[in-house]
Amino acid sequence: MTSLSAAFDPRRNSIGFLRWFLAFAVIFSHAGPIAGFYGGKDLGTQWSDEQSLGGVAVCGFFFLSGFLITRSKMGRSTTPRFFWHRILRIYPGWFLALLTTAFVLAPIAWYREKGTWDGFWDATSDSPLTYFANNFTLILHQLNIAGMGTSIPQYSHGISDWNGSAWTLAFEFRAYLLVGALGVFGALANRIVGTLVASAIIGLAMLQWLGLGLGNLPTALPILSDFRALLLLAPFAWGIIFCLWMDRIPIDDRLAIACLAVAFATYAKGGWLVFGQYAFAYFIMWFAVRVPITRWDRYGDFSYGIYIIGWPLMVFATYFGLQKHGLIVYHLVVIIGVHVYAVLSWHLIEKPAMSLKNWTPRWYLRWLDGRGGIGTRRMIASVRSHAVLTGKVVR
């Protein structure tokens, strides 16, 4: 039987396609409350009492992220380099989405609704001028802009957010902190220890979903201070375990079919959050290695841009009454719109930012040099030679 380590090829897999597909699952799900489709509810909640289709997709995102980010940390990069890579991947694209929302989409929508600019730029509450500053850390302190949204469908469902999907980004970065800490303390070098930590997170999540209560434990652990942390960290921790035990996890067609059946059954009948989502995670990993759609992202990785701009563009479309033309027209325009944005975001912002991943500041080299020692000198030589090979100037 083939193991995951033998079957997984980082250059030949379907993870790029899966992330793209999952991003659109989130978009389609949120079209319910944003545009008034599906009875004004997230798609999927008509069949499941536990999770929407968007929630299923986010589970898949965090599982794949847990697997890939752990592989990255277990590589040869140092902890500062690891976090530098993560910052470059998540923040530049997020900054662009914030600026686009506050200074392009929101003002056009305001003018469409009011017929004037009066009251927008000088709004005394939730000003567009503070939207970036209040949200750039990934923690959302300002959801609305200038009190907008009272005339569009989502307001009737108690929602006035300009980017209701983005709350997951802060938890994604918390997961990066978790992996970084596991690496620093050697928990990834010893997979038993790493597995115990990941299993503890999954166990806590199971206790929460079973309604057994956690007392004051989340308060004692800041990373779990929000119940949503367990919702997202549990599949991420499952991805960590998959990475740590790649050589022992079988890739079996029959097991994949069984896991998919379990995922469907628990989603419809109950038990998705307790164990169904983990079966679903196995299936998407099986799909990633057994159905290698290898050239899907040959023009770029657009899934992140699609994810973070999907909600703002859907809200923007409702200001022009696009939802009145029906579900198909609405979705088609949104699909085209998010792709155009994601392509521009990738090629103008995200890809150039990622090109800086091997950049090393001169002060860091001077600091290393000051520490002295054979090991340090070897590290400096390695950094410099890598900079030369990759064409990155050490500044």
Query: Could you read off the pLDDT of 342-375 as tens digits, one per residue?
Result: 999 999 999 999 999 887 777 665 665 666 554 4
Question: What's the CA gap between 337 and 335, in Å, rounded?
Answer: 5
Given this model, what pLDDT does residue 392 score? 46
Strands (E), the chain: none
Given this model, what pLDDT does residue 369 score? 63
Cβ-contact 381, 345 below 8 angstroms: no
226 to 141, 271, 326: CA distances (angstroms): 15, 21, 37
Angle of the 303-319 helix axis to the 106-114 helix axis, nearest 10: 10
Question: What's the CA gap between 319 and 328, in Å, rounded?
Answer: 17
Ranges of residues in the chain whose predicted pLDDT is under 70 = 213-227, 363-395
Q: Return the exposure string of 15-52: e unless at least 16 CB atoms fall within 10 Å of the residue's CB, then b.
A: bbbbbbbbbbbbbbbbbbbbbbbbeeebbbbeebebbb
Given this model, what pLDDT does residue 186 score? 87
The Cβ-side half-sphere exposure at 376, using a 13 Å CA radius, reads: 10
Given this model, what pLDDT does residue 213 score? 57
Cβ-contact 76, 378 below 8 angstroms: no
Given this model, what pLDDT does residue 222 score? 56
The Cβ-side half-sphere exposure at 41, using a 13 Å CA radius, reads: 11
Given this model, what pLDDT does residue 156 score? 84
Q: Token digits for 201?
A: 């997170």
Q: Specify which residues 9 forms β-bridges with.
A: 12
Using CA of residue 9, residue 15, residue 16, residue 17, what is the dihedral sign?
A: positive
Given this model, what pLDDT does residue 78 score? 84
